[in-house]
A = this chain, B = another copy of it.
Amino acid sequence: MTVTLADVAARARVSPATVSRVLNGNYPVAASTRERVLRAVDDLDYVLNGPASSLAAATSDLVGILVNDIADPFFGIMAGAAQTEIGGPGDGSGRAGGEKLAVVCNTGGSPERELTYLTLLQRQRAAAVVLTGGAVEDPVHQAAVSAKLAKLADAGTRVVLCGRPPLPDGEAVVAALAFDNRGGGRRLTEHLLSLGHRRIGYVAGPLERTTTRHRLEGHRDAMRAAGLLGGGTGAAGRPTDGYDEERLTVHGPYDRRSGYDATLELLRREPEVTAIVAANDTVALGACAAVRDRGLRIPEDISVAGFDDLPFSVDAVPALTTVRLPLFEAGARAGRLAMGKETPPPGGIATIAAELMVRGSTAPPRA
CB of A120 closer than 8 Å to a CB of B: yes
Is A51 close to B, CB under 8 A? yes
Q: Pick the contact of A55 from B51, B104, B317 — CB < 8 Å?
A: B51
Select which of B47, B79, B121, B125 is within 8 A of A106 by beta carbon: B79
Q: A116's contact among B51, B90, B105, by CB below 8 Å, is which?
A: B90
**CB atoms of B125 and A113 under 8 A apart:** no
Known: A51-B52, A119-B95, A315-B256. A108 touches B125 (CB 8 A): no
**By the criterion CB–CB under 8 Å, are B311 and A256 in contact?**
yes
A51-B94 in contact (CB<8A): no
Residue A353 at the B interface, CB < 8 A? no
| Bound Cα distance A123, B102 (Å) | 14
CB distance from A33 to the nearest CB of B (A): 23
A348 within 8 A of B: no
Task: Mark the stretch among A35-43, A70-78, A158-166, A239-247 that contacts chain B.
Answer: A70-78
CA of A119 to CA of B101, assembled, Å: 10
Q: Can you name the residue of chain B whose Cβ is closest to the Cβ of A78?
A: B71
A69 CA / B80 CA spacing, docked (Å): 8
Chain B residue, CB-CB nearest to A328: B71
User: Is residue A271 contacting chain B, with contact meaning CB distance below 8 A?
Assistant: no
Interface size class of A (residues with CB under 8 A): 35 or more
The 0/1 profile, CB within 8 Å of B marked 1, for residues 120-134 of chain A is 111111000000000
Q: Does A264 contact B (CB under 8 A)?
A: no
A314 surroundings in chain B (CB, below 8 A): 289
Interface string of A283-305 (1 = CB under 8 A from B): 00110110010000000000000
Chain B residues with CB under 8 Å of A53's CB are 51
A100 to chain B, nearest CB (A): 9
Considering residues A102, A108, A317, which has the most beta carbons from chain B within 10 angstroms of its beta carbon?
Answer: A317
A366 to B337, CA, bound (A): 57
User: A313: shortest Cβ distance to chain B, in Å?
Assistant: 10
Interchain CB contact (< 8 A) of A48 among B84, B123, B289: B123
Q: How far is the CA of A53 from the CA of B117 in the complex (A)?
A: 18
Q: Looking at the assembled complex, report how far the CB atom of A176 sits from the nearest CB atom of chain B, in whole angstroms.
A: 22
Please, which residues of chain B bring their CB within 8 A of the CB of A14?
Answer: none
Kindly state the separation between the CA atoms of A83 and B113 in the bound complex, as whole angstroms.
Answer: 11
A83-B106, A106-B83 given; A101·B120 CB < 8 A = yes
A61 and B121 CA atoms in complex are apart in Å by 11
Q: Min CB distance, A142 to chain B, in Å?
A: 13
Residues of B within 8 Å of A121, CB to CB, are: 101
The answer to whether A52 touches B50 (Cβ under 8 A) is no
What is the CA–CA distance of A95 and B116 in the complex, to the nearest angstrom? 7
Given known contacts A47-B151, A73-B73, A104-B104, what 8 new A-B pairs fall within 8 Å (CB)? A50-B120, A51-B55, A71-B79, A73-B76, A87-B113, A94-B119, A103-B105, A104-B105
17 sampled A-B residue pairs with Cβ under 8 A: A47-B119, A47-B122, A47-B151, A49-B125, A50-B120, A50-B125, A51-B54, A52-B55, A61-B120, A70-B83, A90-B110, A94-B144, A96-B123, A103-B103, A286-B315, A288-B317, A316-B317
Q: Which residues of A contact B (CB under 8 A)?
A: 2, 45, 47-55, 60-62, 64, 69-73, 76-77, 79-80, 83-84, 87, 90, 92, 94-96, 99, 101-106, 108, 110, 112-113, 115-125, 144, 148, 151, 155, 255-256, 282, 285-286, 288-289, 292, 311-312, 314-317
